[in-house]
Structure 1
Amino acid sequence: MHGLTFASWASRIPTIQENLRLSASELGGVLFGLPVGFFISLPFAGWLIAKLQSKRVVVAASVSYGISLVGIGMMSSAFGLFVSLFAFGFFANLLNISINTQAVAVESLYKKKIMASFHGLWSLAGFAGAALGTWMINHSVSPLYHFGIICITFVIVNTACAFHLVSKDDAGGEKRPIFAMPDRTLLGLGFIAFCSMMVEGAMFDWSGLYFMQVIQVDPGLTGFGYATFMVAMAGMRFAADSFSNKVGLKKILQVSGARATTGLLVAVVFPQMMPSLAGFFLIGMGVSSVVPMVYSAAGRSRSVSSGTALTAVSSMGFVGLLIGPPIIGFIAEASDLRISFLTLSLMSVAVVILASRLPAPSNLDR
């Protein structure tokens, strides 16, 4: 439902821009409310989860997240939309961290890796949300009614699932501090998330332009690169858990970084349609497993509580997601997009190097 809700909002951005008569620069300023809300929630997320347990935070954040989506559809001014997006980002991140904490607890009960499959479901929900948004637009359904349907569905699903959530986050009963300086392992995981999500963010925003400006495909084909990337990312997440259970965290992170690096180099060296699609497929495979695997390892940290560890690592990752696209833009302005993507490959190389410096597998794959 998190992925469905977020994709539902994203699919209606053009409609909302048209309804409020916002210019491109005005829309850019308004959209900034979402990451601001995300960042403001970070100090609260780990503390709330440690104090209340993730189950309660999931239930409360789910309802608030759905209601904030309806608020977006109700706004008739740029300022109101900014405030609604602030709330949307705030509760989206509370739900993101708390539900990942739940996933860590479920993994502990299963005694094997299943985190990537959860993230794969998020990706599928994102596809569903985008498809539903397209259907709503084609049938002239207003954003308010669209978002209202999503909110009601969210509340129903939330109510049905609340009784089945894990009550205690730390199944082992080990007492861990709420606040502490991140240890070397958490910092390493955070930097890996930063590098991988920087690549991911750049692909989200620049893949279409890469196919338009570098590959120079017909306008109707510019979305093929992004679609190929997303299909590879979603599909690989369902295979990542089995792979990780066999080879361990360090190996899967190293392989993932190598795949993303290879994909970026293929797209840069062979700027034609088919080689670039193959490259984007490899990039999607490469970034697919990194975040769920890193979140899973962070949630098992012995130095701080699960919620606090996930907050720290996801915060570093989100910084990479935010700064990746503008950095690519600055480099492209100074040179071109091929040089930008070549520079981006250094982030994937960094994933391989940082993964090799993580502690022994026995400390990460327990």
Structure 2
Amino acid sequence: MTILQKRRAALGSLFFLAGLCFASWASRIPDVQSKFDLSESQLGTLLLGLPIGSLAALPLAGWAVHRFGSRIVIILGALGYMIFLPLIGFSSTLWILVPVVIVFGMIGNMMNISLNTQALAVEDMYGRSILGSFHGLWSLAGFSGAGIGAVMIYLDVLPRFHYLVISVIALLILMISYSFLVKEEKDQDRGGFVMKKPDALLLRIGGIAFLGMLSEGCMFDWSGVYFKKVVEIEAGLVALGYVSFMGAMASGRFLADRLTNKFGKLYILRLSGVLIFVGLLISVILPTPVYATVGFLLVGFGVAAIIPVSYSVAGRSKLYSPGIALAIVSTISFFGFLTGPPLIGFIADLLSLQASFILIAVAGLGITLLSSIRLEVFENEQN
């Protein structure tokens, strides 16, 4: 392997590490609920700690990456995961667990910004789009983490020991990978911990990422409910919609780079929006197991490339350094991920669940529109 290939493999393994740690926590949430005897509403309040931590870390992450470089932040973030993941399992009271979960959420976003900033540096070395494959590895780690979690539950392993095993795996990955990370040259002319109005590029790509994350968040939270209440599928197959969406999104991220290099970033964003729109339209008009599954597959493929491509475009901002630019776009898109699912619930109560899913379809059209008008905003991405 060349040094560039080693850098890519090392960074990909760290994306996998981040996804594995997050999925491992998620796989044992029911055990956490049982341990502390939490009601659904109490568990929901606890789970708010992750987005609160993530949101709090966004400006800090951009500043830290700009000030110290993504390499240092990745190493510290990975070490943080290894410490705070087991701490979740060892927490004996809610007074300890809540702040630990909040810090865990902060670490997640520190890793998100620093890993993607590092990925942009490696992408520049390659001279072609490769960001999608890194996000694909994160998604693959999600499946792996869920699988390991299922085995640990079957073997009746306590979450604390499960998390310790994951931390050891994470430590091994970090020890093998960290020396291949890129040390970026600092650019003092862009970024810094200051607030300036985002340029037209970041506003536009932030809007696209917002709609993409709104769609993704809604599919994460409402796929199972849709298949249960609208498709009315048998109980054992309720998860089919979620699995088809997740599988298509994960595999689509590995295909995204090749398609982006062939057709261009804006073309892929337009196609992504169309796939979301068509997929949801099929699912709403023909809510049968076969057609709804096909529709959810299309939505998964549609969502797959939006964030990787958006980050790749944002990282070329002339106003901000990559770390700050990614933090700005992540902040905008994060609100889509937060507001989308409850908005779906509100519309479902007011009208119907099918009507609420039309909202996500419209979001897909919005992505296509925003990547098709006033192309001068995108400068070199007009192919």
| Residue pair 2:375, 2:382 contacting (<8 A) in 1 also | no
Kindly report which structure 2 residues correspond to 1:175-190, keeping only aligned pairs within 5 A, or say none.
Answer: 175-178=189-192, 179=194, 180-190=196-206
Give 3-state SS (helix, strand or coil) of 1:163's partner: helix
Q: Does 1:253 align with 2:269?
A: yes
Give 3-state SS (helix, strand or coil) of 1:215's partner: coil
Offset at residue 220 of structure 1 (A): 0.6
- What is the percent sequence identity of the aligned residues? 43
Number of aligned positions between the proteins:
364
Identify the residue that residue 342 of structure 1 maps to in structure 2: 358
Identify the residue that residue 89 of structure 1 maps to in structure 2: 105
Q: Does 1:364 align with 2:381?
A: yes
Unaligned runs of 5+ in 2: 1-16
Residues 101-138 of structure 1: per-residue CA shift (max 9 Å, x gap): 00000000011000001001111110000000000001
Kindly report which structure 2 residues correspond to 1:55-66, keeping only aligned pairs within 5 A, or say none.
Answer: 55-66=71-82
Query: Following the alignment from structure 1 to structure 2, what is the Cα–Cα distance between the partners of residues 240 and 160?
Result: 27
Question: Cα gap change, 1:354/1:149 in structure 2, threshold over 3 Å: closer, same or farther?
Answer: same
Kindly report which structure 2 residues correspond to 1:286-297, keeping only aligned pairs within 5 A, or say none.
Answer: 286-297=302-313
Question: Cα gap change, 1:358/1:286 in structure 2, threshold over 3 Å: closer, same or farther?
Answer: farther
Kindly report which structure 2 residues correspond to 1:300-315, keeping only aligned pairs within 5 A, or say none.
Answer: 300-315=316-331
Query: Following the alignment from structure 1 to structure 2, what is the Cα–Cα distance between the partners of residues 143 and 358?
Result: 51
Q: Does 1:21 align with 2:41?
A: no
Query: Following the alignment from structure 2 to structure 1, what is the Cα–Cα distance between the partners of residues 342 and 61?
Result: 27
Residues 314-343 of structure 1: per-residue CA shift (max 9 Å, x gap): 111111111111000001111111011012
Unaligned runs of 5+ in 1: none
Q: State the Cα RMSD in Å.
A: 1.5
1:297 maps to a residue whose letter is V
Kindly report which structure 2 residues correspond to 1:75-224, keeping only aligned pairs within 5 A, or say none.
Answer: 75-168=91-184, 175-178=189-192, 179=194, 180-224=196-240
Query: Following the alignment from structure 1 to structure 2, what is the Cα–Cα distance between the partners of residues 94 and 358?
Result: 33
Offset at residue 30 of structure 1 (A): 1.0
Q: Does 1:325 align with 2:336?
A: no
Query: Following the alignment from structure 2 to structure 1, what is the Cα–Cα distance between the partners of residues 43 and 335?
Result: 21
Query: Following the alignment from structure 1 to structure 2, what is the Cα–Cα distance between the partners of residues 73 and 86?
Result: 14
Query: Following the alignment from structure 2 to structure 1, what is the Cα–Cα distance between the partners of residues 110 and 98?
Result: 18
1:364 maps to a residue whose letter is E
| Residue pair 2:266, 2:382 contacting (<8 A) in 1 also | no
Query: Following the alignment from structure 2 to structure 1, what is the Cα–Cα distance between the partners of residues 225 and 244?
Result: 15
Offset at residue 174 of structure 1 (A): 8.8
Offset at residue 163 of structure 1 (A): 0.4
Query: Following the alignment from structure 1 to structure 2, what is the Cα–Cα distance between the partners of residues 220 and 87?
Result: 36
Offset at residue 80 of structure 1 (A): 1.9
Query: Following the alignment from structure 2 to structure 1, what is the Cα–Cα distance between the partners of residues 326 and 374?
Result: 17
Of 247-256 and 76-85, the range deviating more from structure 2: 76-85
Query: Following the alignment from structure 2 to structure 1, what is the Cα–Cα distance between the partners of residues 124 and 172?
Result: 27
| Residue pair 1:210, 1:337 contacting (<8 A) in 2 also | yes
| Residue pair 1:54, 1:169 contacting (<8 A) in 2 also | no
Offset at residue 362 of structure 1 (A): 5.1
Offset at residue 9 of structure 1 (A): 0.5
Identify the residue that residue 48 of structure 1 maps to in structure 2: 64
1:194 maps to a residue whose letter is F
Query: Following the alignment from structure 1 to structure 2, what is the Cα–Cα distance between the partners of residues 192 and 175?
Result: 27
TM-score (normalizing by structure 2): 0.92
Offset at residue 76 of structure 1 (A): 2.1
Question: Cα gap change, 1:297/1:56 in structure 2, threshold over 3 Å: closer, same or farther?
Answer: same
Offset at residue 78 of structure 1 (A): 2.3
Query: Following the alignment from structure 1 to structure 2, what is the Cα–Cα distance between the partners of residues 199 and 258?
Result: 13
Query: Following the alignment from structure 1 to structure 2, what is the Cα–Cα distance between the partners of residues 175 and 353?
Result: 33
| Residue pair 1:188, 1:358 contacting (<8 A) in 2 also | no
1:323 maps to a residue whose letter is T
| Residue pair 1:102, 1:169 contacting (<8 A) in 2 also | no
